[in-house]
Structure 1
């Protein structure tokens, strides 16, 4: 599987990252089967979060790693400091509390990739970078990133880190897909627009894309006449996306692959480093996603999928 190098990180990470938002110990056998297969096909990064299934996702991954004794070969991407009913939580206390919980649930003493799950633009970047660096120096975190932060905020944080001899964000995790959203799916979600992609290309900052298939819109399950899913209609129904979907279908037919595979290949063939975070509920889905990572799209093909122009 294609691998990416992350600045300041001693190992490489697979371009397909396995999502685990539905994992929990009550389905541990299914979790173990999928994780075993993911490793067998060359994957080494598992995405989770403090808030997924109220911590059950992290617990299931921890049980699997303990049973397999493979912690040194698996890179954990987990996220914390997500806002909740008590309001914004991008602060030192919440970050430390969530990190401590995640380490215990995962049965490990360090996190490979730690990201802040949501931003709070009202909070200055300086204390955020300070507390994350404390945890880096304590050996609890290997690399830090931002999930659902704008590139402007990440740039500000990294400029502060550079001025003060600190470690800045070395990856971002926003939504990137062939389908452009009309609006955020949930409050605080950030999708990569043209300016964001240009910044990633300029800085060579890796982007770990969540919802690369646009919540299923890019699998072909939806049509303009089917308006049963209010969220998908609200976020993804627009003429540009139907045109892009049609071109993706043409490309998939030409290459002898599926629509979903072409859509994932769009994410992994950007002019800057990218990984696609994709969940799988079966081995069939896992293997199909794995095959998508090997699809090569030229810059001309990517441009055609976006605009219809060669």
Structure 2
């Protein structure tokens, strides 16, 4: 396993986060997956107040294993579709969601806390001040944003710096080799070229959700297969099919699979990155480990992303 550091967290953080979107019950298949992740050196979990029941199951597993202090927990709050209709990016929603998340997880703090959505009509000041209260109370170790634009993150961090407060120390948008044509879900943000350039300049860690583009590079899709409406809507474009063809070519040269190339692309950006993964079985998990250990040159990363016409 490979690791990064995030300001505010005194633990090393594995570059592969285990997602909890498919975590339903602590039955054998899921226990085996969790055990394999820990045995491979993984220590970071991604969950959210809005993921129905996932925090409770993760909290049950934490209680059973006694591993809480060795692990890094990322949870998220203030999602628009959680609790009451309409935008909820406000101090009251943050306070409510964090309290309930801590209760569900059975812990008195989370290592990483992110706002799950943004409301650009809300000023950043009260949000940063609310989050800093929880930092001071040690119920949160580091704050970040999920599905905020890099401009809003910059604005928030400038506000924090001007008042000697702590700003966002990580960002968690979508980042993948396949570029979405439109948001996969309402309010979701993908890191475009401008955002990536901002990350290069600021070196702010990026924790990528849907790092494998929903399986676009798995070989289960083709331009003629349009049965998956969401995949067609979000990812079917000439440029993405060219990225797929290049991933296939490079995978053949390196003796791996295209989806492993796609995950390695996320991990070989010129700024700190982690990938949130959702393997369905140990084989898919070990495939992700192999992806992490692949080596891609900066030129290969650019070529995969259609920025140059040849690898040499």
**Superposed CA offset, 1:12-51 (max 9, x none):** 21111111112123x4433322111101101110101111
Match for residue 71 of structure 1? 68
State whether residues 303 and 309 of structure 1, in contact with CA within 8 Å, keep that contact through their aligned partners in structure 2. Answer: no
State whether residues 31 and 60 of structure 1, in contact with CA within 8 Å, keep that contact through their aligned partners in structure 2. Answer: no
**Which secondary structure state, in structure 2, belongs to the residue aligned with residue 292 of structure 1?**
helix
Aligned-residue CA RMSD (Å): 1.0
* Residues in 2 aligned to 1:29 and 1:46: alpha-carbon distance in whole angstroms: 19
Match for residue 250 of structure 1? 249
**Which secondary structure state, in structure 2, belongs to the residue aligned with residue 252 of structure 1?**
helix
Determine if the alignment matches structure 1 residue 23 to structure 2 residue 23. Answer: yes
Match for residue 7 of structure 2? 7
**Which secondary structure state, in structure 2, belongs to the residue aligned with residue 249 of structure 1?**
helix
1:98 is displaced (CA, Å) by 0.6
Determine if the alignment matches structure 1 residue 304 to structure 2 residue 269. Answer: no
**Which secondary structure state, in structure 2, belongs to the residue aligned with residue 167 of structure 1?**
coil
Match for residue 159 of structure 1? 158
1:251 is displaced (CA, Å) by 0.7
Match for residue 43 of structure 1? 42
State whether residues 28 and 60 of structure 1, in contact with CA within 8 Å, keep that contact through their aligned partners in structure 2. Answer: no
1:187 is displaced (CA, Å) by 1.3
Match for residue 226 of structure 2? 227
Unaligned runs of 5+ in 2: none
**Superposed CA offset, 1:49-73 (max 9, x none):** 1111x2x111111111111111110
**Superposed CA offset, 1:158-204 (max 9, x none):** 00101111110000000111101111111111001111000001000
**Which secondary structure state, in structure 2, belongs to the residue aligned with residue 218 of structure 1?**
coil
**Superposed CA offset, 1:271-307 (max 9, x none):** 0000010011111111111111111101011011111
1:9 is displaced (CA, Å) by 2.1
Unaligned runs of 5+ in 1: none
- Consecutive aligned runs of 4 or more in structure 1 exceeding 4 Å deviation: none
Match for residue 261 of structure 2? 262
